[in-house]
Chain A
């Protein structure tokens, strides 16, 4: 039965335990599923603040999310000066990422959305939006940079941080900077498919990088286009988007289904496009690059819809920002098979611009040598004279292969496909000088020109011409040519060209040399005005020519810059002269594009290219150092009667303007007029001209108040706007200065006047423009709560002390803190009192008990009993009680024996007393003496009844009467 009951109890316990376990499991599932708690990371949780921020962000309330996250991270508010980056930014990296994402959203809210930055803004001031966007983006960069460059952060987060930083730069139109940041992203997470172990961010970064590259190329100058057609770093270790996946089946550069239409124009291709294509479309990028290089670049940014919107971290498939624990779900990029188009060992540079059908012109593909070559390979450049020819029409293919001096190139080859007749090549020598980066290089090589005639209509790819260098063949790029049916409309370039045969010579005298170098032609007329008696350098040098040697401050000086060269050259970098003391106004719209002149410098004919021409109204009196140039003519000063402006005058003018500006009312605009010197009059530009009749107008711009820097305090540098041109070579226009100041004193402030001395070329004298500024009434500033909203232009939430409560006008209730009532010795005493008291009590009681015990021991000792017995014996003797005397003496003897020997003699038989005493060291004589008294009243050995009276300590320790003592002694002896 007992066993059965035990089994029943065990089963009942197991059932209860199972039910409890099920309950706990269900509760855990509910908690984990509904609250987001992850049992695998039980000690990680989302910060409530970040959760709130994420909710606000999902609801589109960026401002609220920003405030929450700024408070959470302790960064302070984002303002003109940036945002604080405390350590919490790194410690709470996920929250910081969310803040940067929020700031990105805020930055995007100013101006056009992400991806449409090139569209004109609608309904908003572009300046103000740009400034606000820049401010938010700057704050976001400060936050995101702290994460991105912190190697302690996870790579995934760092990659997203770089990606977001790239998008921030993209948003501001700084595409090259964006490309660099996308490269950093790709360095961390290559743009591969998820199945290949890639990351969405990598693919998105590659996508955006491609678009950034395209836009960067579109907005670059012609010089930049020719020198940086790709924007990447091909041939180096740094990968570009196209190189990231190499032979992977998919590439991030081109997208998937949505980019089908991009295939024709090469798409946003960040990678190489110059490989040997399977069809004729592969050369499109290369052709486009050359066409862009050959075509004058647009002076303004092209307005066109982007080829494809860049992918952003905050829209589209992105469900929400990265929370404090989770990562941002960033969209992935589509892909397209492009791996076969990449040729290992070669890095190609192309542009991704669309080819322009129908344009006939030279196209060039520039290739570099195999990467494994130690020496720098020659630079091959292939050109064809036309992209579309008719059957029977000849065209030329020209190859220029340049290498470092001392190296030779030879054996140019071109193997046209079937359907072409080829003649040539004609070999020529080539020399190219390059200047830039503080050094110059001169390359030489050969040029080879083939003449081809198409015999069959169709589109053909002419294989790349090649040249032999250092035992290996270096090729240029293949070219595509379209041969159409003959219409007879086009003139054959050479009617005497025999198919497959050499070109015929010109039968009438020497053949013309249209492509001969003019520098080798002695008949080329030299410009006498540009000729120089000596040349500072035999190959190339710069020259500046001034129209006058002396000028007064404000007088126009015209400077012309020339490059004298005896070789073809490419200027890789251009550094303008500083000329900090001069106001520069270009006189030519497209410097460097004019026809070259020829001039003799020294003993050689040089090509003198006018790079720029500028008028330099002098701003300071200083001698100009002209190092390389030697002016051809030195005109006499044009202002013999003009009064010279000394430096002190100019300083005085500037100081007066600063003083006046410093007293301007905060965020108020006063119009500065030049003439009349009377009261200010709005919007009336005055003439304080430099130059002739057009003049240079200077006024205070009321519109300057709109700029975002209006919140700043103190005197800022004036915002200068100007429209200064030089029509007809004479500098003129207008200029306005907008001051934003804050006056630190209240009351009536006299602003004084502004004086502006200027040179009047019409009268060859200085004049002074004066503008009275009047007075302003400055009210005392408001309290802290109101001062922040004083400016209508103030951005809400940008005042760092906006949340500060106002001052207190009365003293509130407060009692000075008194010294603690319990402190110091008083407290120490109280703390020690209770334990000490208890200790004293316990110790006292213990001491008293010990004393009592000690006294009792003394009273009951054998010696004390012997003494007492003797005293009792004396008392009994005094009473005449012999029996009492005997008893007392006997007790005394027994007690004395016990005291002396420790022998309890009362319990020893009288017969054995003597040997016992001797055994205890008592002499026999003494023992004999002791035995006699001890045996005086030896009681009979009979048993006694047991007493049932309880023993009490008081009785035991109390004084005993002699009779009782005697009885006890007798009892003890009996036992």
Chain B
């Protein structure tokens, strides 16, 4: 192959790459412009316009914690402005939850979420609605003690310690051999604990997605269509969604699992 041909191929490849990257940059710039417009409307008190813009951003897949936060603020402003629509508090909670999902240390989002939840609780108490106890199952409680990366690194470290213990165990009699004899079963147990937790966390990351109830109260059904109505889930509650079947989505709220209409749940964050 001559150098001339190789140069042409390289130029063609570069052109293809540029062509593919240009729309992405344009979308990103457009998204920032829409966010700026929404933030301006929000500052001016035009929360309806801000909500439209922010929802448009979300529909286009624009993901940013500040956009999610402003979306929550916009819904809160609509509630405060007296133009509340059913589910606004849940949508506000969804915005703040998404902001926290993307940026876990966002104090403003956490405060907004607390306020929204408190208002929902107060409204439920005014309606004499029963409080909903959310108790996660043991597996999820354990898996969510740390994130997947943490479990992975812990499992890897335990694996290395296991190897070191196995090596030291073969050393001549002495401290090294004692260390190895203690280390390798401990490390093996740690691997046996951390590895399933890592696998479970990965499974949840890949097969579930958080969501928030955006209706005043959703009732879990045992079957996707026409199942018996079960436990109620309050507005703004954080759910774990998994399988989707038609217009129904399987969710888990604490230890309760069931099916909800997909429209009553807002999924958070980008899909994994």
Contact = CB atoms under 8 A, between A and B. Distances in A.
A602 to B, nearest CB: 53
A807 B46 contact: no
Contacts of B79: 801
Interface stretch (A324-332, A631-639, A780-788, A848-856): A780-788
5 contacts: A87-B133, A713-B81, A744-B82, A804-B73, A805-B111
B159 A746 contact: no
Nearest to B163: A834
B202 A823 contact: yes
B98 interface: no
A947 B47 CA distance: 106
B122 interface: yes
A746 B119 contact: no
B41 to A, nearest CB: 9
B125 interface: yes
Interface in A616-654: none
Interface in B216-272: 270
A807 B70 contact: yes
Nearest to A780: B45
B162 A835 contact: yes
A713 B125 contact: no
Interface in B55-71: 63-67, 69-70
Interface string A790-811: 0000000001110111111111
B36 A809 contact: yes
A836 to B, nearest CB: 9
A820 B43 contact: no
B171 interface: no
Contacts of B123: 81
A567 to B, nearest CB: 47
Contacts of A76: 118-119, 121-122
Contacts of B40: 809
Contacts of B124: 84
Among B47, B125, B166, find the residue whose CB has the most chain A CB atoms closer than 10 A.
B125
Given A87-B131, A780-B44, A811-B66, A830 B156 contact: yes
B167 A838 contact: yes
Contacts of B39: 807-810
A822 B80 contact: no
Contacts of A803: 111, 115
B215 interface: no
Given A713-B81, A835-B163, A804 B122 contact: no
B118 A800 contact: yes
A84 B125 contact: yes
A342 B155 CA distance: 81
Given A87-B131, A781-B45, A783-B43, A834 B162 contact: yes
Contact of B115 (A82, A801, A816, A834): A801
A808 B66 contact: yes
Given A76-B121, A84-B121, A800-B118, A838 B42 contact: no
Given A87-B133, A822-B156, A807 B42 contact: yes
A742 interface: yes
Contacts of B145: none
A373 interface: no
Interface of A: 74-77, 79, 81-87, 142, 713-714, 742, 744, 746, 779-784, 787-788, 799-801, 803-812, 814, 816-817, 820, 822-824, 827, 830-835, 837-839, 842
A811 B42 contact: no
Contact of B112 (A81, A805, A827, A834): A805
Contact of A81 (B76, B126, B164): B126
Contacts of A831: 155-156, 159, 191, 195
A783 B42 contact: yes
Contacts of A827: 152, 155-156, 198
B118 A84 contact: yes
Interface in B8-61: 32, 35-36, 39-40, 42-47, 50
A746 B46 contact: yes
Contacts of A839: 166
Nearest to A811: B66
A344 B83 CA distance: 65
Interface in B113-148: 115-116, 118-119, 121-126, 131, 133, 148
Contacts of B176: none
B121 A79 contact: no
Nearest to B32: A811
A842 B77 contact: no
B102 interface: yes
Given A783-B42, A807-B39, A842-B170, 5 more contacts: A84-B122, A801-B79, A803-B111, A807-B42, A812-B66
Contacts of A807: 39, 42-43, 50, 69-70, 73-74
Contact of B81 (A79, A142, A787, A824): A787
A811 B159 contact: no
A83 B125 CA distance: 7
Q: Which secondary structure dominates chain B's binding surface?
A: helix
B133 A801 contact: no
Chain A interface, >50% SS class:
loop
B202 to A, nearest CB: 6
Given A76-B119, A839-B166, A742 B111 contact: no
Contacts of A804: 73, 76, 111-112, 115
Contacts of B178: none
Which among A742, A787, A807, A823 has the highest number of chain B CB atoms within 10 Å?
A807
B125 A85 contact: yes
B210 to A, nearest CB: 14
Interface string B75-118: 01101111100000000000000000011000010011001101
A746 B66 contact: no
Contacts of B166: 835, 838-839, 842
A173 to B, nearest CB: 24
Most interface-central of A77, A82, A787, A838 (chain B CB within 10 A): A838
A142 to B, nearest CB: 7
B238 to A, nearest CB: 16
B36 A784 contact: no
B77 A787 contact: yes
Contact of A835 (B70, B118, B125, B159): B159
Contacts of B73: 784, 804-807
B66 A814 contact: yes
A303 B76 CA distance: 48
B65 to A, nearest CB: 6
Contacts of B133: 87
Given A800-B115, A810-B36, A830-B156, A816 B63 contact: yes
Nearest to A805: B108
Nearest to B159: A831
B265 to A, nearest CB: 22
A808 B131 CA distance: 33
A814 B64 contact: yes
A86 B163 contact: no
Given A85-B125, A839-B166, A834 B160 contact: yes
Nearest to B83: A744
A714 B81 CA distance: 9
3 interchain residue pairs of minimum CB distance: A713-B82, A780-B45, A834-B163
B8 to A, nearest CB: 34
Contacts of B167: 838
Nearest to B121: A84
A291 B120 CA distance: 55
A781 B77 contact: yes
A82 B125 contact: yes
Nearest to A812: B66
A822 B32 contact: no
B202 A801 contact: no
Contacts of A82: 122, 125-126
A834 B164 CA distance: 8
Contacts of A816: 63, 270
Nearest to A790: B80
B51 to A, nearest CB: 12
Given A744-B83, A781-B77, A787-B77, A820 B112 contact: no
